[in-house]
Amino acid sequence: MTSAPDRHMIRLDRKPQLFSMRVAALIFQNDHVLVQRGTQDIYWALPGGRAEIGESSQQTIIREIGEELDRDCTVERLLWSAENFFAYDGYAAHELAFYYLVSLRQPFPFHESDIVHRVLDGVEVEFRWLPAQPSALLEHDLRPRFIAERVATLPQRHEHLIVHEGRSGAAELSKETV
């Protein structure tokens, strides 16, 4: 019997620099989008996580949804790939990210304002639904900010973005449509 190969997340930690590859999902329900945050964080992000060496970005999001939400999902399409540059916890972070439109195959708990799910993933992570409106997502500090600004008009074709976010969340953005 052979054992499963070691799993290695794509993350290079060379403090004060950090590089990682993240894959995230836009999941909509009742005109809301599902978001997550570590309970120690003050900002929200889309559900997802770091890619592992040897898996595609689609495989990553399917695995992450299964691990964190205990749901099977359908990957509809890639919306954005982004090179995100930001400050985080004493790091100058560089993140390669893929954002997919995803639908869940089984219903997920819904409430307009309460936490609907928690999971332990190294740290405690909580999930909630936010209105899928730019003003609501900006008010709740969804990061990266460009997602809040574009949620009302998702691209029909994949866009590649280069995003430089400052500490305040303000962003400089350049775009290529592929």
| Domain ranges within the chain, ordered by starting residue | 9-100+111-162
| CATH no. of 9-100+111-162 | 3.90.79.10
Q: How confident is the model at residue 178 (pLDDT cuts 50, 70, 90)?
A: low
Q: How far is CA 36 from CA 17, 28, 94, 123, 177, in A?
A: 24, 13, 20, 12, 28
Query: Looking at residue 170, what is its pLDDT?
Result: 54
pLDDT at 34 > cutoff 90: yes
Mean pLDDT across 120-138: 96
Q: Which residue has the higher pLDDT, 82 or 170?
A: 82
For residue 114, what is the DSSP state? Answer: S
Query: Looking at residue 2, what is its pLDDT?
Result: 47
Instruction: Write down the residue that tokens 């003003």 correspond to.
Output: 135
pLDDT digits (tens, 9 = 90+) for 74-100: 999 999 999 999 998 899 999 999 999
68 neighbors 24 (Cβ within 8 angstroms): no
